Every structure is written in structure tokens, then in C-alpha cells.
Structure 1
Amino acid sequence: MDRRSFVKLAGAGAASAVAGLGLTACVTQAPSAPTGDVRSYSAVGQPAVSFDYNVDVLVVGSGMAGLSAAMLPVESGLSVLVMEREDLLGGESYESSGVIRVCDTQLQKQAGIGQSPSAFWQRNKDSYLKAGLTLANRAESMLKSAPEWLDHLVDEYGASFADPKSYKQDGPVDILVSFSGLGDTEMIMLPLRDKLAEKGVTFTTEHECVALVLDGTGAIAGARFTSGKAGTVDVRARAVVVATGGYSANQLMVHANNPDQELLGCCSRLSQGNALSLCSSVGAATADLNVSIMVASDVPDATWWGMFAPLINVSPAGKRLAREDDASATAEACVADELGFWWSIFDNQMSEGVQSASAAKVMTKRADRLVGPCDTVSDLAAAMNIPADALEATMEAFNKAMEKKKDEEFGRELQMKSLKAPYYALKQFPVRSSSRGGVMTDEECRVLDELEKPIGNLYCCGTAAAGSVEGLSTCGSSGFITGRTVVADLTGKE
């Protein structure tokens, strides 16, 4: 399915998308038009306000965080409008690898995989703290809430995931992937979008949020958008949720906060830091902006291959770089050693294994970076332009470690198997992925000011907020927490 099909519900254009959805199975009503005097309202740094729509909950951004934030409010009978800057729904989430780091879900319990969220946190927290994350309590809260969000996503919205039993043997215990495998979020996000629409959520695209609206008391009361088709659109809302993503694609923000990473490319153009600009304009505090942005492969699927099949990641000189069953370790090592790129060497266990569809897609799409099949390590080295003796030594050491089931060099734990001909190699480049700093919130995702007091009616989730550490998992979980907080704040019901 072409990604553009994901937004056919808004395909009639931005203005009509507010009034209804293009898919006949999920038509919703437009938000109501406001009434009464609006002279006491103002948009920060903008001309006078003239409201076009009135809703209970306005969600800015349609990625996993934004869509998850819409769940509980619409289920509680609140009117919800999701507005997206791009001409497509889904944001970066739709283009991601589709991997969700989570444990203790019903799917995993049924597969006999037993790891608690607390154990997951204890196992990973040192890496977050080592990176410089100060909002560890927020990160912990999101990770521990992830199973509830995921179960709700499956039970209430029909999201489909691959059976963990299919990769339980020698595979990861804290990961779920889409039913179709790595690199396909369609079976997760498409049902979520459609069910939200059926429940009454309204969507629109091609509307960029340029300012938050304040009432006469200075409280958040909505937001202003601009659209090439509809002009200026003002939305009054009792709660505004900012879920516009991080800032890793904003070169100026990266230069200001993470100058050592500004020469790296970025995996997406969408993370422009809009949330920082919007929320800071009304006094929101920020946190952890100087924490390094996560780095990954510019081929998102391949980042995770080492968890599902044996492979070796080597430098341009043929030396092994890091443990391959850690999604970010090789990219981080590549950046630290200023190498520019690395090779992933694999065999038919990858191309014919549980993630064969991902391998086939990548091998076709990135054919210009692929070498193989090669029947000998010497032939592979020649194709990679690496000295044969160096690569042969690396392969021999790796295979011996796998046979002993003990990786003394890097501590690999998953897919402890040797590689056999024919061999393939894929060239990959390190890129900036998700920023970990952002708008400061409390553990319930209320935006905080410089005195760490909540700014009324304003919420932030996903990578727009500080402390998001695990991609789709913490995006969805923080969105779910946000929705719960919004319902409690607007209705008084937990």
C-alpha cells in the first residue's frame, strides 16, 4: 500500500477534510462553529482571532503520539479534532520501522514471554542516564505504561502484530512488530485511524499550527493554523495537545543544542521542532536539549535486523564495530569513530528467515548499496573493497564466538549463530533519529513553565516532549497518558 493511501480520508483537500473523511466507511461530523464574543482572545504574536471551529480537544500532529492521545478523549464522549501540517497523516511514525519496545503485553504473555516493565526499565535505565537524560522519572512512567496502551491498541482498535512466538527462539523478548514485519506500520496505524474516525474523531491535513490562542485571562484556549487552501483557521479548544515531533531535522536547533551532531544527516525532514517554538511562546520550559540525539541507520528496517537473524556489522576496514543485537550501538560506534558508514554482513538466515519480507524490500530498494551473493569471504571482501585478510579474521572470530555462545568482545546475546555462504553485505550510513530533549512536562504530560507549574489546558507528548526514549513505544504510551490526563482534567473522571 502506498503511504499516500493512508490519508485518502483527507484526500478531498484540507477544507473538506475538516468536514468529512474521504473513506465512506469512516465519515465524521465537522467540529461545531463557535458562538459569542471573541474579542478577548488572542493568538500569540498574531493578528486578531476569529474562531472557525470549537472542540473539546485539539490534537496538533497525527503520528503515533497524536493518534494515541485522541483515544481516551473520544471514548469519553469529548469532541476531538486532529490537525496535521503535512498532506498525509501519520507523521514520522508511519515511515518508521514499526518496532515497538514493550513487554508484559497480552500478546507476549500468550507467547510465553515473561518480562515485566520494571525489569525492562532496570535493564535499560543506565543507558538513558549515561546519555544525560535528566527526566528519568518521565521516561520510566512512559515505559511502564506502554503495555496498557498496546493492549488497548489491539483490543479496542484492531492493531495487528506478528505473533512473538515466530521470533521467540533466540529473538528479542521486549519487542513487537507489525503483522507484516519490519518496516510496515500499516497494520498498526490504519486500524487506529479508522476506528478513531468511527468513534467521532475529525481529521484534517495541510494545516500548520503557527500560534497558540489565549483567552482574556491568559489561559490556553486553542490554536491558529495556516493553510494554503483555507487561509487562516482558528480553533477554540478546552485542551490543546502538541504532538508535532522532535527537532532532529531542524539544522538551526541541532546547531544550537547538539553541535557535535550537526554534520550528520537526518532520517526524516519532519522533525522541525515546532513544539518547542509553540510551547516556549507561552512560557513553557524545556529540558535535556543538550542530550545527544539518537542515531540510527538510514535504512530503518536494517537497524533491527541483528535481533532477528545473525549478522556482523563491520567498519570500512573490516573490523567488527559493536553488538549487532542493539539497534543503536553500531550507528553510535560509527559516529564515535568518525567512520562515515558501515557494512552489515548477512546470509540466507536473514534473507529467508522470519523477516524475509523486510530483507527482500531493502535488498531491492537499496540494490546500489548491496553486494553479493558471494560464495567466499575473499570474494565478499573484494566486493566491499576491504582487505581479505582483515575480513576473514573478523568473520572467523565472530563464528567462533557464536559457536561458543559467548561474545566476549561486545556482549551480543541474541541470534548466536554462525554465518555461512552465500554472503551479502549492505552499506549503511549513520543519521540523526529522535531527539530526546524537548518541552518539559510532568509525568501526566501537562506542559510545565519555568517554575515547573502546569500551564493550564496545554499538553505535550511523543518526541515533542523531553524524555521520549524508545520511539513508537514511548510516543504511543505518552499519547495514551496524555489522553487520560485530558479526560480527567476536562471531566473530573479518572
Structure 2
Amino acid sequence: MTDWDQEADLVIIGSGAAGMSAAIVAAASGLDALVLEKTDLIGGSTAISGGVVWVPGNRGMAEAGAPDPPGAALRYLEQVIGPGMRRDMVEAYVRASPKMVDWFNRHTVVHLVPRMYAPDYHSELEGASSGGRALDPLEYDGRELGGWFTRLRAPLQQTMIFGGMMVSRADIDHLQRACRSWTSFRHAVRILLGHASDRLRFARGARLLAGNALAARLLRSAIDRGVRFETGADVTALVRDGGAVIGAEAVIGGKIVRIRARRGVVLAAGGGAANRHFRAANVPYADVHLSMAPPSNVGDGLALAAAVGGTIGATARNAVFLSPVSVDAAGGKRTLFPHLILDRQKPGVIAVNSAGRRFVNEADSYHDFVEGMYRDHGDGPAVPAWLVADSRFVRRYGLGLVRPAPFSKRGFVRSGYLVSARSIGQLADKIGVPQAQLAATIEAANRAAATGVDLEFGKGSTGYNRYLGDGLHSPNPCLGPIRMPPFHAVKIWPGDIGAARGIRTDADARVLDADGKPVRGLYACGNDMNSIMGGSYPAGGITLGPAMTFGFIAARHVAGIACSGSKEEKTA
């Protein structure tokens, strides 16, 4: 076939962590890699994520003096995932992911460092780790991207301050203590002056953190390796010859472009969480479910795979990675906020259902929290639910989109996002729950705060809970009183941060057909791949960890280097 408009050894569809990892590794192996990105911006959902990469047994743990015991991670995953676990996929991941991190740390500017205290989400289970498996990308100066900086997808606006300034948890603490601590004052001045300087040149700050730093580092590494990018490239079909995938058709600049893939195609288009039909078929309460996935993540990769014989995998528990989400409709524009780690775990907030009762451990992971909403809905109901706190809590920690002092909450009160009242009874009336029950629920929560023991749901009873509480608060970093008026509430809905159900693959990331045989020339990774976690959420970084690892595996397989087996060797 000679009517090709472009050619590459490996064609990658999608520019998130999975796609760019595959492209970088392929290019480093001597292959010509071309990334096709549907939108005008590079980075996918990675660029708006927390950026944590979960890698058990990574070298950094041993170097820090806390090596991961052999087999511990696998024992942990067996318990969390349950009987639906695909052992071949999980073992390949546990084996290959430390090699992936070593490779990127050595050969690229993607530098990942272990967070030595960051418990796995079910920290009470055998094999769980108190830290080291979660790795963070180092902070990155977006100016190092040159003209590519404006092509990098920005973080969610609602997660930044001062017109585009990224901040970490440590930054927030320093900003709040700037008038009480010389160290915090210097830190605050440094980042504020840096942001002011950036805004003279850019539409947002160039000090990049979390997922935006990871996406930027991947992009810089891809550019350095000669990876080619086509943005605004909507892939509409895969091209086959004799059952093998040999290329793709895409609409670029309004024209159909045929692109030959000499060695293979990798699907890494982000999954289908933003597709309402996907949600209707796979997600409970789909009519009110709120997805944080980029709007472009509508399942293009899944459709492309299905059209050439690929199959969609099953999930044991959930088709998406769950998170409670609140929504502000100020000015007719919907702004979504995922309640991940900044408010629910802190002392002085509870979640109540429409009966005014607590229904879940508020400090559990975002995924487990929404599962709690599901469980309670028949009795509560808890879809939607409410986060309830007092004025002291909101000043100290914020609540959803409402930022802590000195930021004002008035606009959120006016829009109806933050419901406020001078008394518990008035708040109950405003949010539509029984006055007596809400008062009794808060009274019980205050008693638990005084003793430091939550007899009802065990908030603050696990290492993971306490990690995200307030370490300066006692006797329990996750339990505090709700006493100081005005009282506040924010409505929360079940939502997600990406798809878990996707394309079925083997341990080399090759797409499988209905008979379990590989579709020649076709690979899938990231949220296009059916999650190896079986619809569970064992720890922070269990999306980006497999995304980068199976991108790494796919590219090495294309290049003739096997790394899903017990040894790395040239494939036949």
C-alpha cells in the first residue's frame, strides 16, 4: 500500500502519561515515534492530575533505608482487588514498574522521587506500605519548554490561586503562616514574586507541580528524543492488512490523513469516562454522576479497538475511579471540584445524607467514600450528600471550591454553592434534612472529637486517615468539633477522575480479541487499558503508575525488548 500521507515506526494516539511514556521509550530505542493528540493541548488528564505514580519496590525506597519487602505489594493487591485480580497483569506491573522508574530517572528529565510517608489507602491490610511506593515528579520550570509551554494543558483553574498559580499542600501552609513564621514568610515571598514575574510573560504561572510537572517533564523528554506531535488530530479509523494493524486515519486540519505505522499503534486516548453513553452503561446514578475527565475522553480508543476485533474488559467493582464532586453554577458556568485530599479528612467536617445522618468514614479515600454513598443510598439516601462544617473549619481548611482565609467565601454563598446559616436548625432547613437528626449527628461528632475516637465509622483510626488529617490537632487529627457559627454545607455528588473499564490486553499491553489472542500491531495503555486494579483503588498513583509502566512495556515490546516476563531479553 503506497497511498500514505505520513509514516512512523510507532503511532501513539493520546498525549497523556501513557502515550508520552510509550513515545519516549520507543524513540530512545531508535524508533520514529509520532503522537496524535485529538485536542490542541498536550498532556491529557495527566496534566490536571495529582501526578502521583505508585511503584512498589522502587529503588528510592531502598536508598532511603526503607526497602519494600519482596511480595508485600502483591499480597496487598490480592486483598484489595479480590478474586477478580488478573495475576498476569498485576505481576507484570509489580515486576516492570521499578525498571520503568529507573529508566526514566536515568535517561530523561522525568525524575520521580518517593514520598517516604504516604500510606497506601487500605493501610491496615497485610502488605500495605506506610510510604515510599507513591512517587512525585519534581517541581518543573515551564519556561524550560520554550514555545511548547503554551501547548501544555493547564491544571484545572479551580485548583490554582492568584490567576494561575499552582500551590502544594506545603505552599498553602506557608502562605497561611507567612505572618507568624520567618521561614514561611520567605517561602511565600519567593513563590509570589516568581508568579508575578511569570505573569508578565505567560497566561499562568510557570512553576509547575504535581501532574502538570509530570506532563511537562514528559513533554520535554519527548521533544529531546525527537518525538513528533500532531495536535488537533482526530483519529477516525485504524488501517489493517491481513488482520494486522498497520496504520491510522485521522482528520487533521479538516483533511483526512493516512498515517502508516511500520511497527505498531498504541491506544492511549484516555478512556471513556466523559462519554455519557459509557456512563449510562457502566456507572450507578449516571444521570447525576459528575466526571472530572477532560471532555475529549469519550472512548475513542475503545471504539477504534472494537472496530478491529479488540474487546472491552470486565471490572470487578467499578468502571470508573470514583470521587465525590461538588459543582458551582455561578454565572451560568458549571465549575466542578473533586473532593480528594484537602477537606474531608480534616478535623471538624462530617458528611451527612438526606436524613441528616453520617454514613461513611469521611477520611477514607475518595474512591471508598463514593462507594459509601452507593451503599447508603437505599437507606439515606446519600446521592447527593452534604459536607457540613463550621466557620472555624472553613477559615482554616476551606471547603471544596471555597478556599481558606484570607480568601473570601461571599461569592460562593451568593451562588448557592456554600450554604450558610447562623444555627444548626437553620442550616438543616436550608439543605433539606431533619433539624433534630442533624443536631444529634453533630452532637455525636463533637463527643467523638473530644474523646478522639469515632465509634461509628472510625474516622482517624488508620494510618491513611491520619496522614491526611491535621497533624497539629489532637487527640485525633481527623476529628474536630462543629460549634462556631455560622455553619456551612456543600452538596456533593458521586463522580470520577477517569475510566477504569477499558480495552482488554495481555501483559505486553497487546490488545486481545474475543479469543484472547493479540490483535497484531495494536497496543493499549493508560485509561484506554482495562485497569489492572479491577475497579478498586489501592493507593494514590494507581492510574499513572500502570499508565507509564505499560506504555514503557508496549514500546519495548515493539522495539523487540521484553520486560513483562521474569527476564528482559530480545523478543523473537
Once the two structures are TM-superposed, the CA of residue 139 in structure 1 deviates from its matched residue by 4.1
Using the alignment, how far apart are the partners of 1:446 and 1:408 within structure 2? Answer: 48
Indicate the residue corresponding to 1:242 in structure 2: 267
TM-aligned CA distance change 1:410 to 1:363, over 3 Å: farther
Query: Is 1:419 paired with 2:484?
Result: no
Query: Is 1:476 paired with 2:476?
Result: no
Query: Is 1:493 paired with 2:550?
Result: no
Using the alignment, how far apart are the partners of 1:187 and 1:301 within structure 2? Answer: 20
Indicate the residue corresponding to 2:303 in structure 1: 277
Helix, strand or coil: the match of 2:357? Answer: coil
Indicate the residue corresponding to 1:344 in structure 2: 387
* TM-score, scaled relative to structure 1: 0.74
Indicate the residue corresponding to 1:81 in structure 2: 34
Once the two structures are TM-superposed, the CA of residue 198 in structure 1 deviates from its matched residue by 0.8
Moved more, 170-179 or 187-196: 170-179
Using the alignment, how far apart are the partners of 1:394 and 1:247 within structure 2? Answer: 39
Q: What is the aligned counterpart of 2:100 among 133, 149, 155?
A: 149
Residues 181 and 355, structure 1, Cα contact 8 Å, conserved in 2 = no
Letter in 2 for 1:441: T
Residues 60 and 83, structure 1, Cα contact 8 Å, conserved in 2 = yes
Using the alignment, how far apart are the partners of 1:117 and 1:373 within structure 2? Answer: 51
Once the two structures are TM-superposed, the CA of residue 81 in structure 1 deviates from its matched residue by 0.8
Moved more, 465-474 or 203-212: 465-474
Indicate the residue corresponding to 2:503 in structure 1: 439
Indicate the residue corresponding to 2:16 in structure 1: 63
Using the alignment, how far apart are the partners of 2:91 and 2:304 within structure 1? Answer: 26
Cα shift readout 1:241-270 (whole Å, capped 9, x = no counterpart): 111122223233444455764653433323
Helix, strand or coil: the match of 1:457? Answer: strand
Residues 54 and 135, structure 2, Cα contact 8 Å, conserved in 1 = yes
Indicate the residue corresponding to 1:24 in structure 2: none
Q: What is the aligned counterpart of 1:305 among 310, 322, 342?
A: 342
Superposed, 1:41-120 pairs within 5 Å as 50-106=3-59, 115=68, 118-120=71-73
Which 5+ residue runs of structure 1 have no aligned equivalent? 1-36, 39-49
Cα shift readout 1:370-411 (whole Å, capped 9, x = no counterpart): 548989867865775655543444344445556666544334
Superposed, 1:32-431 pairs within 5 Å as 38=2, 50-106=3-59, 115=68, 118-129=71-82, 133=84, 135-142=86-93, 145-159=96-110, 164=115, 173=131, 174-176=133-135, 179=139, 180-181=167-168, 184-215=210-241, 217-257=242-282, 261=286, 264-268=289-293, 269-288=295-314, 292-294=318-320, 295-298=322-325, 301-305=338-342, 309-310=346-347, 311-323=349-361, 324-336=363-375, 337=377, 338-345=381-388, 368=415, 371=418, 386-387=433-434, 389-398=436-445, 400-401=447-448, 406-412=453-459, 413=462, 414-415=465-466, 416-417=476-477, 418-420=479-481, 425-431=489-495
Using the alignment, how far apart are the partners of 1:370 and 1:442 within structure 2? Answer: 45
Using the alignment, how far apart are the partners of 2:342 and 2:448 within structure 1? Answer: 19
Moved more, 87-96 or 458-467: 87-96
Once the two structures are TM-superposed, the CA of residue 127 in structure 1 deviates from its matched residue by 4.0
Residues 221 and 238, structure 1, Cα contact 8 Å, conserved in 2 = yes
TM-aligned CA distance change 1:165 to 1:61, over 3 Å: same
Using the alignment, how far apart are the partners of 2:259 and 2:319 within structure 1? Answer: 33
Indicate the percent of aligned positions where both proteins have the same amino acid. Answer: 25
Using the alignment, how far apart are the partners of 1:308 and 1:155 within structure 2? Answer: 37
Residues 98 and 184, structure 1, Cα contact 8 Å, conserved in 2 = yes
The aligned length equals 443
RMSD of aligned alpha carbons: 4.1
TM-aligned CA distance change 1:300 to 1:124, over 3 Å: farther
Letter in 1 for 2:340: T
* TM-score, scaled relative to structure 2: 0.65
Which 5+ residue runs of structure 2 have no aligned equivalent? 124-129, 140-166, 170-208, 326-335, 467-475, 534-541, 563-567
Using the alignment, how far apart are the partners of 1:73 and 1:287 within structure 2? Answer: 26
Once the two structures are TM-superposed, the CA of residue 305 in structure 1 deviates from its matched residue by 3.1
Residues 109 and 220, structure 2, Cα contact 8 Å, conserved in 1 = no
Helix, strand or coil: the match of 1:325? Answer: coil
Using the alignment, how far apart are the partners of 1:115 and 1:124 within structure 2? Answer: 14
Residues 134 and 288, structure 1, Cα contact 8 Å, conserved in 2 = no
Letter in 2 for 1:141: A
Cα shift readout 1:317-345 (whole Å, capped 9, x = no counterpart): 43222222222122222234053322334
